[in-house]
A and B are shown apart, each in its own frame.
Chain A
Amino acid sequence: MRVEIKNLSKAWDGVVGADNINLDISDGDLVAFLGPSGCGKTTTLLMVAGIYKPSGGTISFDGQVVNEVAPKDRGIGMVFQSYALYPHMSVFGNISYPLKLQKVDKAGIKQRVQKVADMMGIGDLLDRKIAQLSGGQQQRVSLGRALVKEPQLLLFDEPLSNLDARLRLTMRGEIKRLQSDLGITSIYVTHDQVEAMTMADKIAVMSKGVLQAYDVPEALYDRPKTLFVAGFVGNPPMNFLDVEVTGSDGEFRARSEAIDLVLPPDRAEKAAAIKGKVAMGLRPEDVDLVSDASPGAAGLTLGGMVEGVEPLGREDLVGVSINGVEMRVLVDKTKGVKVGDNIELAVDTSKIQLFDKETEQSLLWA
């Protein structure tokens, strides 16, 4: 099912939950709503579900405006962070409840519930009480309940946030596979960007009720249009440095009291036109440790002192002070960087992002 959200807003006297959201979801896509806590993800989702009434704007399913359609008539299934299972019903009772309300006959209910439960791998738990299930099993029941009525649209509100890391990984894969196998259009709310990056066909990044960006995951990562998106997408987050970009004789430089870097012309041109400082973004992984600090590479490397080392397993997350400016970079752990070391970092300047500090818009992709 195609979902179109037009100028959608929601406010409760004074509090803005969602502000003029515009979004089209193609049939069969999984779209992630990504953003920090309180940015309006749940609010938007609940408007799509029909639980909240929009203060303005429209929601259309396959071209039909559904603003006035009751939740039960929208053909949606929903999965919650809290699972929201009916505690007084058995697993069977929970999964069969939507069918019972649709007045499906007893035999039909039994067969469909069994089918969904088997698909979710909980076929032998149907008689259990909800309290007798683990968190992961509960989430499967909740997914089963959402799927059993064969919805046109699946809505997930942080479904995996209460699970442990390993289970989250498994369930992530399972949900994605189910969703694409069944081809059900889905909205997936999360504040975990790895989840969003790995599962979503497109990601809607939100902040303070406003849709900041809506694009495919790679685009958000490589070509962030705003400062917020650049800072929010990617883990560990992008470093930002205040620099002045100047260009003369085709050579562009980013300068501040702390650094002096040569930038490729295609990146720097627009920034050079701006008088004063711009924000330069540099991802932690876009640097390389230069073992022998050759002074010949001036303008291509940054030198600094190691202030902290966080081992992440495969890599170390290293905090470096570059003439007083803090940066966090990823360094191969075999390099054995220690606190107090003086290191030299080669910067992959072709990956650098530049933003106008006033408008917070990208100077590359706007």
Chain B
Amino acid sequence: MRTFGLLEKGDISLTKPLDSDVPDVATGFRRPQRSALGRRFRATVTAYGFLGPAMALVLVFFIVPGILLLILSFTELSSANFNDPWSYIGFDNFSRLFTDRFFPKILRNTFFYVFTTLILFNLGLALLLALVTTNMPRRAGFFFRLVWLLPRLTPSVVYILMWRRIGQADPFGIYNQLFPEFLGASGGNLFLGGSPWTFVILTNGFIGASFGMIIFTSALESIPKDLLTAAKVDGASLWRIIRDIKIPLIKWPLLFISTYQTLSLLTSFEYILLLTDGGPGLFTTEVWALTAYKRAFASYAGNSQWAFGATWAIVLVTVALILAVGYVKMFKFNELIEEPRIENL
């Protein structure tokens, strides 16, 4: 017979170990006891119910396109070959990719671009801006953060056109008119054609920094004041407070921004497309995502090589996944998540 009684319940224990998977008292307390299996089933259904919407999105917008991309990369699909769309050609596209004369250069470009922008701007400048603007009067801090957000409110094309104006060669560019002698004896050596990477990284960095800045600012502001007071009383200088208290306490936002920005830098190319189109010259500032785009959609001699573009893309996705896993491991992501206090739903 099923009982409602407390005493008869075998699994009630006040000293239940934390990792025990015995169902908790809370669920079955005022209900007839269900079988353990039944309750486990219900818990599973609940869990998947909550996960469902997110999983559907991942499925439709990541898994399915990924699989299509993978299939595509084993075919010869292009605008010149449209009547035979699914012609299987094995690893031909991949061997073509890896033996491409410019493959090493594009790879180097990509990593240089991603990590220089990430470290100097999306993390470095963002953190600096957050630290500085949280240490000034509130209104002033707010104003400066707003200024740094402006590029985000500007359409990409307008933003890049402005930079192109700034970066034009002597004597036209704004920069070269203002500082004809600043970075070199005769002036005019800092212009788009002469230092393309400087401009590529600046244009991306100035926009990219604001995202981290906002996230870091809110994280820094949520550090309890008492902690900072305690650190000051303990004898910490401003620098030690930043190093020993503030940075460790915003570890989670730092992880998030690093991961998120690495991946978004890895896959974004529109600023480079508009600014230099990978030039000047051959592949000087061409990055992986731009190559994938060009192979797939820009036509070479009237031919858009969709399948070959897909091959570049699928390799990029793979690299991104590996990096993402690497980040999670490196930052000990699991340790950041506190054990839930509620042991059973």
- Pick the residue among B224, B230, B240 that contacts A78 (CB under 8 A): B230
Cβ contact within 8 Å between B233 and A78: yes
Q: Is B207 an interface residue (CB 8 A)?
A: no
| Cα separation A84 to B233 with both chains bound (whole Å) | 12
Please classify the interface of chain A as helix (H, G, I), strand (E, B), loop, or mixed, using the class held by over half of its residues: mixed
Cβ contact within 8 Å between B233 and A102: no
- Pick the residue among A51, A145, A155 that contacts B232 (CB under 8 A): A51
| Cα separation A102 to B235 with both chains bound (whole Å) | 7
Q: Is B120 an interface residue (CB 8 A)?
A: no
Cβ contact within 8 Å between B338 and A98: no
CB distance from B107 to the nearest CB of A (A): 37
Range for the number of chain A residues in contact with chain B: 20 to 34
Q: Contacts A102-B235, A145-B234; is A78 near B227 (CB within 8 Å)?
A: no
Complex interface: stretch among B72-80, B141-149, B244-252: B244-252
Cβ contact within 8 Å between A71 and B224: no
| Cα separation A41 to B27 with both chains bound (whole Å) | 46
Q: Contacts A88-B248, A88-B249, A98-B235; is A82 near B229 (CB within 8 Å)?
A: no
Q: Is A49 an interface residue (CB 8 A)?
A: yes
- Pick the residue among A72, A82, A85 that contacts B233 (CB under 8 A): A72
Q: Which residues of B are found within 8 Å of A70, using beta-carbon distances? A: 232
Q: Is B226 an interface residue (CB 8 A)?
A: yes
Cβ contact within 8 Å between A51 and B229: yes
| Cα separation A76 to B232 with both chains bound (whole Å) | 10
Q: Which residues of A are found within 8 Å of B233, using beta-carbon distances? A: 49, 51, 71-72, 76-78, 155
Q: Is B236 an interface residue (CB 8 A)?
A: yes
Q: Which residues of B are found within 8 Å of A46, using beta-carbon distances? A: 229
Nearest chain-B residue to A51 (Cβ)? B229
Cβ contact within 8 Å between A101 and B245: no
Q: Is A228 an interface residue (CB 8 A)?
A: no
Nearest chain-B residue to A82 (Cβ)? B226
Q: Is A86 an interface residue (CB 8 A)?
A: yes
Which residues 128-153 of A have a CB within 8 angstroms of B?
A: 131, 145, 149
| Cα separation A275 to B244 with both chains bound (whole Å) | 66
Q: Contacts A86-B245, A88-B248, A131-B338; is A97 near B226 (CB within 8 Å)?
A: no
Q: Which residues of A are found within 8 Å of B230, using beta-carbon distances? A: 78, 80, 84-86, 145
Q: Which residues of A are found within 8 Å of B245, using beta-carbon distances? A: 86
CB distance from A94 to the nearest CB of B (A): 9
Q: Is A236 an interface residue (CB 8 A)?
A: no
- A96-126 to B contact mask, C-beta < 8 Å, 1/0: 0110011000000000000000000000000
| Cα separation A145 to B229 with both chains bound (whole Å) | 13
Cβ contact within 8 Å between B224 and A82: yes
| Cα separation A72 to B231 with both chains bound (whole Å) | 9
CB distance from A82 to the nearest CB of B (A): 5
Cβ contact within 8 Å between A72 and B227: no
Nearest chain-B residue to A77 (Cβ)? B233
Q: Is A87 an interface residue (CB 8 A)?
A: yes
- B149-189 to A contact mask, C-beta < 8 Å, 1/0: 00000000000000000000000000000000000000000
| Cα separation A149 to B227 with both chains bound (whole Å) | 17
CB distance from B176 to the nearest CB of A (A): 47
Q: Which residues of A are found within 8 Å of B232, using beta-carbon distances? A: 50-51, 70-72
- Pick the residue among A84, A98, A101, A131 that contacts B227 (CB under 8 A): A84
Nearest chain-A residue to B339 (Cβ)? A131
Q: Which residues of A are found within 8 Å of B226, using beta-carbon distances? A: 80, 82, 84
Cβ contact within 8 Å between A86 and B229: no
Cβ contact within 8 Å between B229 and A87: no
- Pick the residue among B224, B229, B240, B338 that contacts A101 (CB under 8 A): B240
Cβ contact within 8 Å between A78 and B229: yes
Which residues 76-96 of B have a CB within 8 angstroms of A?
A: none
Which residues 231-263 of B have a CB within 8 angstroms of A?
A: 231-237, 240, 244-245, 248-249, 251
Q: Which residues of B are found within 8 Å of A86, using beta-carbon distances? A: 227, 230-231, 244-245
- B210-234 to A contact mask, C-beta < 8 Å, 1/0: 0000000000000010110111111
Q: Which residues of A are found within 8 Å of B235, using beta-carbon distances? A: 71-72, 98, 101-102, 149
Nearest chain-A residue to B249 (Cβ)? A88
Q: Which residues of A are found within 8 Å of B244, using beta-carbon distances? A: 86, 97
Q: Which residues of B are found within 8 Å of A71, using beta-carbon distances? A: 232-233, 235
Given contacts A46-B229, A72-B233, A149-B235, 5 further A-B contacts (CB under 8 A): A71-B235, A72-B235, A78-B230, A101-B235, A149-B234
6 contacts between A and B (CB under 8 A): A49-B229, A50-B232, A51-B232, A77-B233, A84-B229, A149-B235
Binding site for B on A (CB under 8 A): 46, 49-51, 70-72, 76-78, 80, 82, 84-88, 97-98, 101-102, 131, 145, 149, 155
Binding site for A on B (CB under 8 A): 224, 226-227, 229-237, 240, 244-245, 248-249, 251, 338
